[in-house]
Structure 1
Amino acid sequence: MRSARTRSPLRLRWTASAVAATAALGLLLGSGVLAVECPVRAAFGVDCPGCGGSRVIADLARGDLVAAVDHNAFAVLVLVPLALVLLVAGARLELGKARRMWPPGRWGKVVAVALGASVIAWTVLRNLPFPPFEALRA
């Protein structure tokens, strides 16, 4: 009989599935096989926080960090690191080394509000129609 401390590698099935799905989507978007038009840009004519994201994935896959930042600096500097942190947190949760993925209590609320505010600020700034903000468009 296994002890409670012995964990099977299959225990990471959700984390592994998330990595596999992200990698597959990244390959499809980055190679140009799957082209996705931004519904926000199509409907309203403005860039959403994720506009340029598929080009960012392609640039990062080629190792071109400068081009990736040029297409969507927010995605490269905030969303990619956030995704990596959540991936590690999810793995820790699945392995039983953490109770939750998101920080509890006040700290969790502060992080959530800061992320929300940064998404709103990025959306507004990249859509301002005058220099230097025009350079932030996708």
Structure 2
Amino acid sequence: MRHYLKKFDKRILIGLGVVGAGVLYLKVLSPAFNIHIPCPFKHVTGFDCPGCGVTRLSLSLLEGDLYQAFRYNSLIFVLLPLFILYYYLSAKGKKRSSEAVLYGMLAMTILFGVLRNTPMFNFLAPTII
């Protein structure tokens, strides 16, 4: 049990470090130095990738604007609970179930990436600033 807690504490510290670095980037460095993360996929193809809008989503969440965050990238709101379910199933040793969830998330991500670039589903594309 003690070994599990040490591993868990390490993950929490790493997670908090990543979140802290993200907040520092989004709220301090990006506005001060006008540094933004470009999307190489969009730059090369002209299409929105499944992750386009995540930086703006993060900024909206930091400002408490859940509605606008959802408009920037709604996929994250679907994938987050599924990722938690995947992690839970993996921790319980349910390999087949966790893999099914993982492949489902992959299929959703690919489908979302294709649909958000079609005229009929353009409401899935990130809103323009």
Give TM-score scaled by structure 2 length. Answer: 0.75
Q: How many residues align?
A: 121
Q: Which has the larger radius of gyration?
A: 1
1:14 aligns with 2:11: yes
- Aligned position for 1:73: 74
CA gap of 1:8–1:134, structure 2 versus 1, over 3 A, is closer
1:123 partner letter: G
The runs of 5 or more residues in structure 2 that have no matched partner are: none
Instruction: Report the Cα offset of residue 27 of structure 1.
Output: 3.5
Distance (Å, rounded) in 2 between the aligned partners of 1:9 and 1:35 = 36
- Percent sequence identity is 29
Report which structure shows greater RCO (CA 8 Å, sep ≥6). 1
Please, what is the CA RMSD of the aligned residues? 2.9
- Aligned position for 2:23: 26
Distance (Å, rounded) in 2 between the aligned partners of 1:8 and 1:108 = 22
Instruction: Report the Cα offset of residue 134 of structure 1.
Output: 1.4
Distance (Å, rounded) in 2 between the aligned partners of 1:73 and 1:41 = 18
Instruction: Report the Cα offset of residue 79 of structure 1.
Output: 3.6
Q: What pairs up with 1:82-97 in 2 under 5 angstroms?
A: 82=82, 85=84
The runs of 5 or more residues in structure 1 that have no matched partner are: 90-97
Give TM-score scaled by structure 1 length. Answer: 0.71
Question: In structure 1, the residue corresponding to 2:36 is in which secondary structure?
Answer: coil
Q: Is the 8 A contact 2:82 2:101 kept in 1?
A: no
1:78 partner letter: V
Instruction: Report the Cα offset of residue 43 of structure 1.
Output: 1.0
